Amino acid sequence: MLLPRLPSSWTALTCIAVLLVPSGLSATSPNPAAFENSAVVRSIELGGATTQITTSYTVRSLKNKNAVYVFALSNDDASNTSWIEAKLKGSNTPLELKRSSDADEPIAFYELSLPQPLKVNETATFILTTVQSHASEPLPGSVRQTEPQALAYETGVYVLSPYDTLIQRIKLKSSTPDVISFIETSELDKFAEPGNKAVVKTGGTVTYGPFRNIRNSATEAFVKDEQQLVGVHYMYDNPVITIPELRRSAEISHWGSNLNIEDKVWLKNDGAKLKGHFARIEHLRQQVQPQTAQPHILKQVVFNLPSNVRDPYFYDTIGNVSTSRFRPASTKKIAGKKSSPLEKLSFLELRPRYPLMGGWNYTFTLGYDMPLEDWASYDAAQGAYVAAVPFLTAVPGAAYDDVEVKVVLPEGASIVDVNPPFDTTIEYQRHYTFLDTIGRPTITFKSKNLTDKHAGLIYITYKVDFRAHLQKPLAVAGGFLGLFLIATTFRRLDFRIHTNKKKQA
Partner 1 sequence: MATPKLAYQLPSLSSAAVENTASLFRIIALALISATAIASRLFAVITYESVIHEFDPWFNYRATKLLASKGFYEFWNWFDPTAWYPLGRVVGGTIYPGLMATSGVIYYILQAVNLPVDIRNICVLLAPGFSALTAWATYMFTCEMKDKSAGLLAASFIAIAPGYISRSVAGSYDNEAIAIFLLMFTFYLWIKAMKEGSAFFGTLAGLFYFYMVAAWGGYAFITNMIPLHVFVLILMGRFNYRIYVGYCSWYAIGTLASMQVPFVGFQPVKTSEHMAALGIFGLLQLVAFAELVRSHVASRQFKILLRSAVALLAVVGIALGALMTAKGWIAPWTGRFYSLWDTEYAKKYIPIIASVSEHQPTAWPSFFMDLHVLMFLFPVGVFILFKEMRDEHVFVIIYAVVGSYFAGVMVRLMLTLTPVVCVAAAVALSTLLDTYIDPVEPVEESTVAAGSSDADAAKKTGKKAAEAATEPTAQSTKASTSAPKSGIYGLDSRILTVANVILLLSYFVQHCTWVTSNAYSSPSVILSSKNRDGSLYIIDDFREAYYWLRQNTEPDSVICSWWDYGYQIAGMADRPTLVDNNTWNNTHIATVGKIMGSSEEKAYPILRKHDVEYVLVIFGGLLAYSGDDINKFLWMVRIAQGIWPDEIQEKNFFTARGEYKLDHDATPAMKESVMYKTSYYRFAEMFQGHAVQDRARGQTLPSVGPTLDYLDEAFTSENWIVRIYQVKKDDILGRDHKSANAFMDGKRRKRLRPTSHRKLLPVKKSTE
Residues whose CB is less than 8 angstroms from the CB of residue 32 and which lie 6 or more positions away in sequence, other chains included: 162, 163, 164, 216
Q: Which stretch binds partner 1 (CB under 8 A): 75-83, 149-157, 168-176, 253-261?
A: 149-157
- Sheet of 164-173: strands edge to edge? 81-88, 123-133, 50-61, 35-45, 164-173, 205-214, 199-202
Q: According to the binding rule CB under 8 A, does residue 433 interact with partner 1?
A: yes
Minimal distance, residue 181 CB to partner 1, in Å: 4
Among 63, 87, 169, 201, binds partner 1 (CB under 8 A): 201
Instruction: Tell me how far apart the alpha carbons of residues 455 and 460 are, in angstroms, rounded to a whole number.
Output: 16
Among 30, 231, 412, 420, binds partner 1 (CB under 8 A): 231
With beta carbons less than 8 A apart as the criterion, state whether 168 and 211 touch. yes
Strand bridging mode 258-269 / 123-133 = unpaired
Residues 443-472 binding partner 1 (CB under 8 A) are none
319 binds partner 1 (CB under 8 A): yes
Which 8-state DSSP code applies to residue 156? E
> Are 74 and 107 in contact, with CB atoms under 8 Å apart?
yes
Residue closer to partner 1 by CB (options 197, 327) is: 197
Strand 164-173 relative to strand 399-408: parallel, antiparallel, unpaired?
unpaired
C-beta of 48: minimal distance to partner 1 in Å? Answer: 18
In terms of CB distance, is 31 or 471 closer to partner 1? 471
Residue in 21, 27, 281, 335 binding partner 1, rule: CB under 8 A: 281
What sign results for the dihedral spanned by CA atoms 219, 225, 226, 231?
positive
Beta bridge partners of 460: 387, 418
The region that residue 439 occupies, defined by phi over 0 for left and psi between -120 and 50 for alpha, beta otherwise, is: left
- 183 is an interface residue for partner 1 by CB under 8 A: yes
277 binds partner 1 (CB under 8 A): yes
Q: Which is nearer to partner 1, 291 or 317 (CB)?
A: 317
Q: Which stretch binds partner 1 (CB under 8 A): 60-68, 76-84, 148-156, 335-343?
A: 148-156
β-pairing, 376-379 vs 301-306, is unpaired
- The DSSP call for residue 356 is B
Give yes or no for residue 323 binding partner 1 (CB under 8 A): yes
Q: Cβ of residue 199: shortest distance to partner 1, in angstroms?
A: 9
Sole window of 7-15, 46-54, 175-183, 383-391 interacting with partner 1 (rule: CB under 8 A): 175-183
Q: CB of 458 within 8 A of CB of 405?
A: yes
Considering CB under 8 A, how many residues would be counted as binding partner 1? 42
Q: Which H, E and C letters describe 12-66, residue by residue?
A: CCCCCEECCCCCCCCCCCCCCCCEEEEEEEEEEECCCCEEEEEEEEEEEECCCCE
- The answer to the question of residue 115 lying near partner 1 (CB under 8 A) is no
Indicate whether 293 belongs to the interface with partner 1 (CB under 8 A): no
- Binding pattern to partner 1, positions 352-391, x when CB under 8 A? -xx-----xxxx----------------------------
Q: How far is the CB of 357 from partner 1 (least distance, A)?
A: 9
Cβ contact 356:297 at 8 Å: yes
Closer to partner 1 by Cβ: residue 278 or 484: 278
The residue ranges that bind partner 1 (CB under 8 A) are 139-140, 150, 152, 154, 179-185, 201, 231, 233, 276-281, 284, 316-320, 322-323, 353-354, 360-363, 432-437, 479
